[in-house]
Amino acid sequence: MSTKDYIFDTGSELGEKHVEYLEKMLDGPTTMVLSSLDIQPGQRCLEVGFGGGSIARWMSDRVGPTGKVVALDLDIDHLEPRPNLEVLSHDINEGLPASAQGPYDVIHARQVLMHLPQREAIFKHLVDSLAPGGWLVIGDMTDRERTVKAAPSQADKELWDKIQHMNHHLVGKPRGMNFEWTHEVDGHMASAGLTNIQGLEYSQVTKGGGNAMMLHRNLNIQAAPLLLQAGATQEELDRYRELTLDPGFRAWFFQIIYTWGQKAA
Ligand SMILES: C[S@@+](CC[C@H](N)C(=O)[O-])C[C@H]1O[C@@H](n2cnc3c(N)ncnc32)[C@H](O)[C@@H]1O
């Protein structure tokens, strides 16, 4: 598979805002999960598809000067290396770079594998790169249905549901995105022999103008050519974007499921 599997462009201006919104929305639950793993000074961590880099920096603070974090992405503009943080431009479809095979005490990939059709092969490679006792943490989105809590009109609610359906079923899925995968990670971890498998679901109701709603708006602008091609009209996209700014509009954002498991010591 080529790097074109990923339909967004983190290196673009919109892509930069996209990963900023994700960090504001998800770093709380992500660091709660990672904190439960008791990452120690001196440990080795891998961050796959680091986006804006906040979790790689968080890990770098935890492992300290005697530890090491390797962070990789297709686009590396948003993360400065540190003495204990190596930043690599790399396509995870090709496995890990020869210089960064591990083994790792913690490997984390948030919102990456759901985008990549070769996710199962990548998952196996990540399991193989764990040190004895090491943890693999995967966080990906589900396909949450019926998201609207309050809308100016029934027509707005129906428009929101329609565009969400198009996002997932007519734009994302045909290009390899998978919203069921996150429910399957637990089973893949068990089959791979990982133990202490745990999970956490997280979602939030977001109102127009809020961070998560601005992420919806951003994604809608990035995916506009694909949505128009799939049959949406420009008027529909304009109204959808108005709703993302309307504080009287509220909806559940997607739900993320984190699953984590440990290699036998
Ligand atoms: C939805 S963003 C998530 C970013 C970050 N993990 C977060 O949750 O804030 C997906 C990230 O994965 C990166 N990515 C996509 N395909 C990749 C690939 N084949 N190899 C490495 N990184 C990839 C993208 O460039 C982007 O930064």
Q: Would you identify the CATH topology of the domain 3-262?
A: Rossmann fold (3.40.50)
- When comparing pLDDT for 135 and 255, which is higher? 135
What is the atom index within ligand 1 of the atom nearest the CA of 1?
A: 19
Find where tokens 């022999």 sit. Answer: 193
Q: In 3D, which of 124, 53, 67 has the Cα closest to residue 95?
A: 124
pLDDT tier, 12 (very low <50, low <70, confident <90, very high otherwise): confident
What does 222-246 look like in DSSP terms, one character per residue?
A: HTHHHHHHTT--HHHHHHHHHHTT-
**Does the C-beta of 6 come closer than 6 Å to ligand 1?**
yes
**Tens-digit pLDDT profile for residues 117-132:** 999 999 999 999 999 9
Whether the pLDDT of residue 145 is over 80: the answer is no
Alpha helices in the chain (DSSP H): 13-35, 54-63, 119-128, 154-165, 181-191, 211-222, 224-229, 234-243
What residue owns the CA closest to ligand 1's atom 26? 51
Whether the pLDDT of residue 140 is over 80: the answer is yes
DSSP 253: P
d(CA 142, CA 123): 18
The set of residues, in sequence order, having a beta carbon less than 8 Å from that of 163 and lying 6+ positions away, is 220, 227, 232, 236, 237, 240
pLDDT tier, 147 (very low <50, low <70, confident <90, very high otherwise): confident
Q: Which long-range contacts (CB under 8 A, 24 or more apart) does 77-83 make?
A: 77/10, 77/11, 77/16, 78/10, 78/16, 78/19, 78/50, 78/51, 78/52, 78/53, 79/50, 79/52, 79/53, 80/53, 82/57
**Does the C-beta of 10 come closer than 6 Å to ligand 1?**
yes
**Does the C-beta of 54 come closer than 6 Å to ligand 1?**
no
Average pLDDT over residues 22-41: 96
Question: Domain map of the chain by residue range?
Answer: 3-262
What residue owns the CA closest to ligand 1's atom 19? 91
Q: What integer pLDDT is reported at residue 9 of this predicted model?
A: 82
Q: What integer pLDDT is reported at residue 10 of this predicted model?
A: 81
Residue type, 192: A
DSSP 171: I
Q: In 3D, which of 207, 16, 30, 205 has the Cα closest to residue 111?
A: 30
**Tens-digit pLDDT profile for residues 194-245:** 999 999 999 999 999 999 999 999 999 999 999 999 999 999 999 999 999 9
What residue owns the CA closest to ligand 1's atom 24? 49
**Does the C-beta of 75 come closer than 6 Å to ligand 1?**
yes
Whether the pLDDT of residue 2 is over 90: the answer is no
What residue owns the CA closest to ligand 1's atom 8? 110
pLDDT tier, 25 (very low <50, low <70, confident <90, very high otherwise): very high
**Tens-digit pLDDT profile for residues 175-187:** 899 999 999 999 9
**Does the C-beta of 140 come closer than 6 Å to ligand 1?**
no
Q: What integer pLDDT is reported at residue 120 of this predicted model?
A: 98
